[in-house]
Structures are given as C-alpha cells and as structure tokens.
Structure 1
C-alpha cells in the first residue's frame, strides 16, 4: 500500500523520494586499512628500536579490521530523481502543423564487443603494452612470471614465503583506474637510509609490494590478495600468476675462456642470469613442470588474441612459456598468437640479437606457440637507441624466414629503447584485425 501511495503522489506532481543505486564496496577505506596493515608488517620486518611489537600488532590488527569493513560494507548512494519534462508550448491558433522533430540518440560506446586479450610476460615491458591496450578493451588478462628473485620482491619471497609481488605491482598499476595519488602511493619505493643516514631495513622495498604481501596474508592466499588489491585500485582487467609453485629460473650459460674455448655453466636464480656475463643458451625451471594456475588456462582458451612480450626475453617472457600446460594451451587456442619483439637488445641477455634470433630461441623453448611476430621498423642502425645497447634488427630482404613478420613504428621517441604504449597498442590492434580478416 505504501508503495502504491508513493507512486501515486509522484504521478500527481508530488516529490518522489530519492533513489539509491545498488550497494557498492568502499575501496578507499580498504586501501587505508591495507596501508595500516602494511605498516604493521613493515615494523615486524625491520624490528627497529621504535617498532615495538605492540605497535606492529596494533597497526596490523587495525588495518585488517578496516580492510574487512571497507571491502564488505555496502554504501548506498542517493541518485537524484530527474524532474518531469515540461509541457511543450501550445501552437498558435491557425498555425500549420509542423512535422515532429526527431533527435538522434547519443552514441554509446561500450566494451561488450571488445576483444579478450591475454598478455604474457612481466618486468617493465608488459606494463607499457597494458597502458595502451586500455583504450581498446577492458577484457585484459595479464599473465605474469613468478620467477623474480631480486630486489624487494626477492627479499619478501625469502622472508615471507610469498610469490614475488613486484611484476604484479607494476601491471596492476598499469591497469588501474584509481586516482593518480593512489597509484603513486602503490609505486612508492622507500629510501636507502633512515633520517640518521643509517641503512634502513625498508631500503628498496616498494609500498605496493608490502601492500600485496599484506593482502595475501589477510585473505589467506596470494591469488586472493591479488584480486582484492586489483579491486581496491579499480583495475580494468585481471593480473594472474602463471603458476602458484615456488619456482627457480635456471640457465645454461656459455662463457669464452681466454684461449678462445667455450665453458658452459648452469646459473640459478633470475637475478643472477643477466649478471653472469655469458651467452644464454637455454633456460629452464626448477621444478621443470610446475602446474599452471587454472584460471590462466581458461583465459588462454577463451581469448580472442594472445600476445607474449615485450619485456626481458629470457627472464620475464620465457618463464611463463616454460610451464607445460600454458605452452600446450597456447598451441591449442584458436586465437591469433603474436610475439611482440623488443625494440632494443638487453645487455647480458640478448646481446646482438636480431628479430630472427628471438624467434629461433622462442621456437626452441616454446615450439609453435608463437609463429607470428610484430617488430619495430623505425630505427637507424648507425645510431644506437642508448649506450651499451643496440637496435633489434629486422631480417634482410633476402632472408628466408620461418615465421610471419609484421612491422610498424612502435618506438618511444623520448626513450627509444622502449616501446610507445599508444603506438604499440594501435599497431597490434591493426595486425589483429588483419589476421581476423584473413
């Protein structure tokens, strides 16, 4: 009866009650809670003289409470009720009738038909791609390596027993729609020394790494922590680990002795491989057949487009492809598969590599997973992009190549050793459209 009365009064010109939109979550409160919990976790890690246990426990407990409250509590938001349209002015008597004017409906841009893109990689290269792809689709799944063992990620991996969060942090930030201040906070890195100039236990740690680690501890799993972190930062898409297994990246590296002969060594640890100084001949994982994260396989098989790279070839892109189930899923997927070749070589990893060298190693490690490549053609071989690096050269016109090659101007003019986010994404979508049409 009350509902009928309300509707009747509104129809008679009375003021209708304010409407409310469906309940939504409160990411800012959850972010504050995670920040507090991260601070408490940091105190437990550093054990400084001012980081008394009770203060760490208090910050951690308060943070957890705020996170749970912020992530679960609905916040109804009033929506204004539009005023009824005014009556049209009366036509003067005797005036000729005029045809009704039809107004064109506004164009509504949706992403319901946007491609489902799976991007495989890690490091600093893949975020460049993700920033550009956001203009074309919301259906992005970033599959990230878990082999990182250096810097802040490596320390948290050893001390807390979590998967390395650094590459996940970079890609979450790249896909985030959160305010700039929140993204800057997520990427903030602590100074190397404290206010007294002494070495700090927080040196080199990124706040985002502590945030994800705290989320993993609070939610009970790393993958759940990633999902909640992504929700707090309003991520467009998903960031998933290639595997939940604790893996170590290893490499067979060839060194040249003073007498000119070759010496082969096995180097263990992602951070040690590029510092070894030899030629990387093969990379592999320990254990050699880790199980893939199931959601990754589902995303690959349902994708409209699968890309690998850009990024450190052996230490960021390849570890994902060394997971057997991921490699098999890529080969079985009906979607176009494109390798995004780096624009410049990487010292200690791909010295003197050409596009064909990348594709040769890709085939050796991953079989037929990627037989199409998009490479940069905007370069001057006589002018290197930066010191101690060179352009990744295209194959000569007379070279018989066992892969399909697409090229484009995808270089960042300000930082020519990197891709331009906008150029790379635009050219990739063009190639995708061409492959679909063909």
Structure 2
C-alpha cells in the first residue's frame, strides 16, 4: 500500500507513533516487574557476553531483575552508531535485553531478531538489528531509559536494562609491556593492546550516572558483579562516582561471579584470586559478601578464600562451567547456585 499523498489528512482512528516520553524525563513502568512475587530484588552489573551469562541465569530465579550496563564500547556496530549519531553505544544494552528474553517462542524469536546482524557489501554490513531498533526509539522518544523500556516490553523481557551512565564513555587504561607502561584510550584498544592492563579510568572522569540505575542499586537486595571482561565491563561501574557511592552505601549484599579463564589482552595470567585483588585495588572500601567460583579452575582454594576474606566475603565453589570445553558458564547450573545463595541454603 502506498503512503497517503502529503495533502491527504491523516486517519484520526490511527494513533500517531510516540514521539516523546509520555511524561518527559520519566520512563515507562519497567517491563514485567509490576507483579514480582519470586526471588529477591537483584541488580546485575557488567556488559557483553559476561552479563549475558549472569542475566540468563538470574532471570530464572527472580522476578525483580535490573541490568546496569557499561556504555563505553567504541567498536563494531555500536561504535559506528555512537560516532555517527552521538548516542550511547547500544550493543551491550541489546545483549542484556536479549538475555532477558523468555524461553517461549515469542522470547526466543525476538532474541534472535535483535541479535541478527546484516551481511552485505553496503553500509548496513555488521549492524545488529537490535542496535538499530534501540537507536530508533531513542530518537523518537528522546530518552534512553524510556527507549530501552519500550524495547523490553516488545521482547517480553524478564527484567529491566539500564545504562550505567547518561553519556557515552571512553575507557583509558594503563598497560604494561616489558616493564614499560603506556596509556591507551578506548575499549577496543584496551582489549587489543599487547601487555597487561594495570588500571583503568573513565573519560569524562565524572560522568552523570543514570538516576534509575542509582536508585535500583540503593534499593536492591543483592548486587551481582561479573562475570565478564574485568577491566572493560566490570570495573567501569566503580569509576562512575554516583554509581560507586551507591555500590558502597547500599544495604544490598554483594556477590561476585568469577570468570572461568583469563581473558587475552586484559587479564592474561590472572588467577581467580587476582581478579578479586584487582577489584579491591579499584574500590578499596567495597565489601563483598559472596564469591562464586568454579572448583575446576581454582588451583589454590586457600589463596582465593584469603582474597575473598580480605573483602569481607566467603567463597562458594561450585560446578558452574559448561561441559563443552569452552570458558562459558552453564546457565542452569549457575542459576541453581544463585538460587541457593539467595535463599541462604549455601
């Protein structure tokens, strides 16, 4: 059907698409949280594949789940959209939304749709459908949180997805190689520069936190760090001042899910306990209540217990790795351990 001619009046029975937030500056009600009745109120921090893993498990054990996602990606489809349109990089936000999709036909179909990438010889090559959808809603609704809530409703997401900051960020890292320390800027550069990352900071150094993310952390029962890229997905949350304050002052208990293997370019040679030590170096006052680690990758349980104890926490060793030989967490196994911890059965 052709579009009506410009002079033809619009059909009054057909509502116009939303052009802005129904209430400027406020988001729609979070998707699927109105009648939460199962599990604690959980906030999960991170980005990329690591956050996808934790959310895939968490959505099966609680009805009140919020993801707070890094917004520093400068590569691929996200980087192109960020540079061209000046928006938050949508990729990690998209992956979090996909992880929250249900296991029914609707959820699985939409998860595949938003994750689908175009393959062509043109400008669309490499763009993820979900990235374009998110950015389109941001332009129409003029509010990132409102746009993400609308996408969550479309997908039937079992939880809410929020950016950790209200502006795009750059990660700056100090990288050591053969005794020489260099400064690199950008998430992609941090991940690909040869050497070992020693510390990270954010540019701008005092970015505005997403207010809804701060509120979610302040009112949570549990806050979950990791797994994921330690320097570019997990630690950046502690470098946003308002977010860091909330993470330190919240009455929520704090849980860390450790990676199953070091990540090339970021944590080469890191032991499980070294991950905790680096977390403590970037947030010396942070208290951790529990640490989940796969027993098969912990060479020195005593050293890990000591590192966790120095932050106030205990170690829960469990079989949470996928049994296909990859360094991936098994969703159902991780969910079972999380459920036991939340219900104080472990």
Under a length normalisation based on structure 1, what TM-score does the superposition of the two structures give? 0.67
Work out whether 1:219 is the aligned partner of 2:129.
Answer: no
CA–CA separation in structure 2 for the residues paired with 1:157 and 1:342: 29
Judge conservation of contact 1:342–1:392 (CA < 8 Å) in 2: no
Determine which structure has greater relative contact order: mean sequence separation of CA pairs < 8 Å that are 6+ residues apart, divided by chain length. 2
Work out whether 1:140 is the aligned partner of 2:28.
Answer: no
Alignment of 1:300-315 (within 5 A): 300-315=217-232
**Selected match of 1:419 from 325, 329, 336:** 329
CA–CA separation in structure 2 for the residues paired with 1:266 and 1:393: 32
Alignment of 1:365-380 (within 5 A): 365-379=282-296
Aligned position for 2:338: 428
Gaps of 5+ in 1: 1-53, 55-63, 73-109, 194-198, 257-261, 380-390
Map Cα deviations across residues 366-424 of structure 1 (whole Å, 9 max, x no partner): 22324344233342xxxxxxxxxxx4644446974324322111101125301111111
Structure 1, 143-152 or 177-186: larger mean CA deviation:
177-186
CA–CA separation in structure 1 for the residues paired with 2:82 and 2:191: 20
Work out whether 1:127 is the aligned partner of 2:52.
Answer: yes
Map Cα deviations across residues 94-119 of structure 1 (whole Å, 9 max, x no partner): xxxxxxxxxxxxxxxx8425210010
User: CA-atom RMSD, angstroms?
Assistant: 2.5
CA–CA separation in structure 2 for the residues paired with 1:372 and 1:416: 28
CA–CA separation in structure 1 for the residues paired with 2:160 and 2:212: 10
Q: Which has the larger radius of gyration?
A: 1
Shift in alpha-carbon separation, 1:393–1:284, aligned structure 2, 3 A: farther
SS at match of 2:199: strand
Aligned position for 1:22: none
Judge conservation of contact 2:38–2:61 (CA < 8 Å) in 1: no
CA–CA separation in structure 2 for the residues paired with 1:217 and 1:393: 50
Map Cα deviations across residues 60-93 of structure 1 (whole Å, 9 max, x no partner): xxxx977449x99xxxxxxxxxxxxxxxxxxxxx
Judge conservation of contact 1:117–1:140 (CA < 8 Å) in 2: yes
Shift in alpha-carbon separation, 1:330–1:158, aligned structure 2, 3 A: same
Aligned position for 1:264: 181
Work out whether 1:188 is the aligned partner of 2:105.
Answer: no
Shift in alpha-carbon separation, 1:287–1:271, aligned structure 2, 3 A: same
Count how many residue pairs are aligned between Structure 1 and Structure 2: 314
**Selected match of 2:86 from 150, 153, 161:** 161
Shift in alpha-carbon separation, 1:372–1:359, aligned structure 2, 3 A: farther
Structure 1, 152-161 or 129-138: larger mean CA deviation:
129-138
Judge conservation of contact 1:121–1:144 (CA < 8 Å) in 2: yes
Aligned position for 2:130: 208
Shift in alpha-carbon separation, 1:139–1:399, aligned structure 2, 3 A: closer
Judge conservation of contact 2:295–2:317 (CA < 8 Å) in 1: no
Alignment of 1:280-295 (within 5 A): 280-295=197-212
TM-fit CA distance, 1:131: 1.5
Judge conservation of contact 1:339–1:370 (CA < 8 Å) in 2: no
TM-fit CA distance, 1:182: 2.4
CA–CA separation in structure 2 for the residues paired with 1:372 and 1:397: 17
TM-fit CA distance, 1:247: 1.5
SS at match of 2:344: helix
Judge conservation of contact 1:344–1:417 (CA < 8 Å) in 2: yes
CA–CA separation in structure 2 for the residues paired with 1:410 and 1:370: 23
Aligned position for 2:241: 324
Aligned position for 2:151: 229
Under a length normalisation based on structure 2, what TM-score does the superposition of the two structures give? 0.84
SS at match of 2:315: strand
